[in-house]
Amino acid sequence: MSDSDLITRLDNRLDQLVNIDIGERGVEHLFRAARKLQGGSLVGAAADALMSVPEGGTVILTTGSVSRAWITPDIGENDGPSGAAAIARALVLGRNATCVMLCEETLLPAIRNTCQAAGLFPVSLDEAAIARADKSLATIVMLPFATEDEAAPSEATALLDRLQPDLLFSSERVGRNAQGVYHSMKGIDYGMGRARVDHLFDEGLLRGIPVVAVGDGGNEIGMGKVKDHVTAHVPFGDKCQCGCGGGIGAVTGCDVLVTAACSNWGCTAIAAAMAARATDPRILHTPEREALLLDTMLANGLINSTHGIVDARVDGFPRDTHISVAELCRTIVSRAL
């Protein structure tokens, strides 16, 4: 078996693993649609795109979901941050990339600490330039993004002009529907206090910047690529509960869409595929690090949004399930490593 044949087989196994629809949200329908459009493995296509970032290039990432902002915008959920941190770590180790993480200012402390638990040291933009030249410290830049519809387009344009990123990456980042409303999986308006990062991704697509997105429910950045299938197969995909007249499906598309039963699992699988391509086990998101990140998110008050409680479950799935997924991903790619 050739190396490329082996990688293809591993990619397909990773795809199948993370798209088992344990939560019965309809993700298997989205997976099949996205695979057909991609013409092959979703995880593999994402890993190829990330490994194609130029050595020392720049990647803008986003994650974080304000949950129940009518109580306080400090409440964020724990699906997304650990996965995005794992991808940022993989990019730093595999491509020596400058990673810039965008989220709400209210969630910056928790996501900053999650990224630090992944092994990255948070710095400012100016400090990142110094660290990049020095190359002796794995860093990540943390930046807030506008939460107002009026300010988001101009902020997106200015940030892309300044950073000139080589790729944009999103994990579990809610995007607006055709009526401009941001929804929860239950079809509720979740726009209050939410950073409008999808405007930056829309502008990035117009500029031809590669976009990789991970989602599990149909309401995230990137799901515009399979919007008709979100409408047909996802609860509240055709009609939400907020009265806007549309479903929860996000309109922002992407170049590579990775579906998963839990977005963090999609990121874990992508990191495994990147490690296989680089034959570098350091890039793996290991079960040991997954456990550390789960505990870090718990300690920083990120919630299991499904049950509305601060615990180490993510999307309602037990802590050990997420650690086991990381172990299975590591086992799947072990032959390539």
Give percent of the chain with pLDDT exceeding 70: 100
Mean pLDDT, rounded, of the chain: 96
Host domain of residue 148: 3-332
Q: Is the pTM of this model over 0.95?
A: yes
337 occurs within a structural domain: no
271 occurs within a structural domain: yes
Q: How many domains does the chain have?
A: 1
Nearest to 19 by CA among 43, 1, 40, 55: 43
Asked if 293 and 114 touch (Cβ cutoff 8 Å), the reply is yes
Give 63's contacts (C-beta < 8 A, 6+ positions apart).
80, 81, 83, 84, 101, 103, 111, 170, 171, 172, 173
288 occurs within a structural domain: yes
Pairwise CA distance, residues 100 & 60, whole Å: 5
Pairwise CA distance, residues 40 & 8, whole Å: 9
Nearest to 66 by CA among 111, 123, 17: 111
239 occurs within a structural domain: yes
Residues facing residue 244 across a β-bridge: none
The pLDDT tens digits for 103-130 are 999 999 999 999 999 999 999 988 988 8
The CATH number for 196's domain is 3.90.1640.20
236 occurs within a structural domain: yes
Give percent of the chain with pLDDT exceeding 90: 93
222 occurs within a structural domain: yes
Give 227's contacts (C-beta < 8 A, 6+ positions apart).
249, 250, 251
CA distances (Å), origin 317, targets 78, 94, 218, 290: 11, 30, 19, 14
Q: Summarize the confidence of residues 37-50 as an average pLDDT.
A: 98
Nearest to 42 by CA among 328, 332, 267, 209: 267
Helices 287-299 and 81-95: angle between axes, nearest 10 degrees: 130
The pLDDT tens digits for 177-216 are 999 999 999 999 999 999 999 999 999 999 999 999 999 9
CA distances (Å), origin 241, targets 39, 48, 245, 247, 314: 35, 38, 9, 8, 24
Query: What pLDDT is attached to residue 76?
Result: 96
Pairwise CA distance, residues 118 & 274, whole Å: 16
26 occurs within a structural domain: yes
226 occurs within a structural domain: yes
Pairwise CA distance, residues 90 & 27, whole Å: 25
